Amino acid sequence: MPDSTSPVANPARCPAPSIQEIVRRDGQKIPDALALESDRSFGDEGVLYERYTSAAFFSDEMELMWPRVWQWVCREEHIPEPGDYYVYDVGRHSVIVVRTGSGDIKAYVNACLHRGTKLKPSASQGWTGKLACPFHGWTWSLEGKMVELPCSWDFPHVDKKEFGLPEAKVGTWGGFVFINLDENAPPLEEYLAPLPEHFARWDLSKRYVALHIEKELPCNWKAAQEAFMESYHTMVTHPQLLFALADVNTQYDVFGANISRYYSASGVASPNLESPPGEEELLATMFVGDRSVVGETHRFEAGDTARSVMARQLRATLGKLYQTDLSAYTDTEIIDTIGYGVFPNTTFFAGLSIPMVYRFRPLGRATDRALFDLFFLRPLPDSGERPEPAAPYRVGLDESWASVPGMDPDLAKVFDQDTSNMRLQQEGFESSRKPAATLSRYQELRIRHFHDRLTDYCGTRMPERKA
């Protein structure tokens, strides 16, 4: 892997041991992608609250950003057979992704060319032999060609050959189906670079959807996403995690135009603790997630650390649960938090202990409502048998994550803590006399990068950012 970035000494970073120092102590060869550190800086300007509240800026996003970015719609296993379709909505935009008779994947704008009626309901999926308007019956083949025009004698001005459904560009990576509404968009591989190269060890196409949660949130989609882009909030929002999770010494990177990363270590105490716990106490508190995968026995042997014991235990119990051999994975790949953000709205996690994908979208056309899709992707068994993808479970604005069947209560508590801040923040945007957020230079670097990319698409319609 080309080393486009290299380790740097940044005086703005926490003086505690870095993630690179922590994982090197494991005594294993660090995967090339995880050995990289970026040295990019995005200054110290603030971000205007109007970006989260302004109807004009929301409209600019809908017109200038969302139709021009690659975003994933579904997994390939959601549409495995010809005729299978999946509807994806973001704000006013709606797209149908369908598997054609030849096995190709196509994406069409979800609107009839007669009077605009949606061909398929929002957020629906299923099977269809053709794409027919439920209002007057104008019909297209799975290949997007017009095949039925009721009362065609009354439409001499309509040439079926010229009335194919408008298409969006389609690409696939890691088992995910992506769309881009811009016919001049760069190829998906170019847009995602260097993500595919980094994920060469973590092939997401060899995973399946074990759980899918849709959580409604009372805030702008950007504020929802940004709550998960830094670990600075851990010491106040998640105090129970400080005993066994690096927070302020998390590593943040930006690779290429659209990819950012946060890399945080488990099995080490937060630098914010005055009295760090010992290794055995660390082990007892370090795991948040489905405790059935931890196992019962925690044996310390000569030279062991909390990190090595937990990794050894998880490697065995996860391997048994997933029916696959995990011996090739290093300790950091097993237990640490390795989240790659893809602009504008996705985070892919490389680690195996909590194998997640995040996606954030506006909920309808409201500036202060968002939808958070949380996927748990488990590795396929070595047999290659692929279970059916889990159906989405919807969690309302005021419902707890603990209401989700099969959700671990400790992990639900963490997500409840995260989402409890969001209504307060959205309301604070409106009431603040200070016009902009004052962000840290390093720990909130990914948020700065995100807004710089947003400006690339939407420009600076509103006043320049202020500190």
- Summarize pLDDT for 349-370 with one digit per residue, the tens: 998 888 999 999 999 999 999 9
Domain, as residue range, for 152: 71-184
Residue 393 shares a structural domain with residue 267: yes
Q: 90 is written with which tokens?
A: 């973001």
92 occurs within a structural domain: yes
Residue ending a domain, among 184, 216, 248, is 184
What burial class does residue 96 get, using C-beta atoms within 10 Å of its C-beta: 0-12 exposed, 13-18 middle, 19+ buried? buried
Quickly count: other Cβ atoms within 10 Å of residue 408's Cβ.
Answer: 19
Structure tokens given for 271: 């630098």
Q: Are residues 259 and 376 in the same domain?
A: yes
Residues 240, 155, single domain; the answer is no
Give 8's DSSP letter. Answer: -
Nearest alpha-carbon partner for 189 in 203, 202, 171: 171
371/409 same-domain check: yes
Number of domains the chain contains = 2
Q: What is the pLDDT of residue 452?
A: 96
Q: Taking a C-beta distance cutoff of 8 angstroms, is the pair 170, 105 a contact?
A: yes
- The answer to whether residues 158 and 273 belong to one domain is no
Residue 466 pLDDT > 50: no
pLDDT at 107 over 50: yes
The answer as to whether 91 is a domain residue is yes
> For residue 459, what pLDDT band results from cuts at 50, 70 and 90?
confident
Q: Residue 13 domain-assigned?
A: no
* Amino acid 213: pLDDT: 98
Residue 227 shares a structural domain with residue 374: yes
Say whether both 280 and 427 belong to one domain: yes
Q: Is residue 437 part of a domain?
A: yes
The domain that contains 149 carries what CATH number? 2.102.10.10
Domain-embedded: residue 194: no
Note whether 148 and 131 are within 8 A (CB).
no
CATH number reported for the structural domain that contains residue 43 in this entry: 3.90.380
In a domain, 200, yes or no: no
Q: Are 52 and 166 in contact (CB under 8 A)?
A: no
Lowest mean per-residue pLDDT among 7-21, 180-194, 207-221, 380-394: 7-21
* For residue 290, pLDDT beyond 60: no
Under a CB-based contact definition with an 8 Å cutoff, are residues 149 and 155 in contact? Answer: yes
The model carries a pTM of 0.93
Q: Are 284 and 294 in contact (CB under 8 A)?
A: no
Q: Does residue 460 surpass a pLDDT of 90?
A: no
Secondary structure letter of residue 266 according to DSSP: B
Q: What is the pLDDT of residues 12-26, one digit of tens each?
A: 788 899 999 999 999
Give the pair of three-digit tokens for residue 82: 């010809």
- Of 9, 14, 1, whose CA–CA distance to 443 is shortest? 14
Residue 57 covered by a domain: no
pLDDT in tens, 144-162: 999 999 999 999 999 999 9
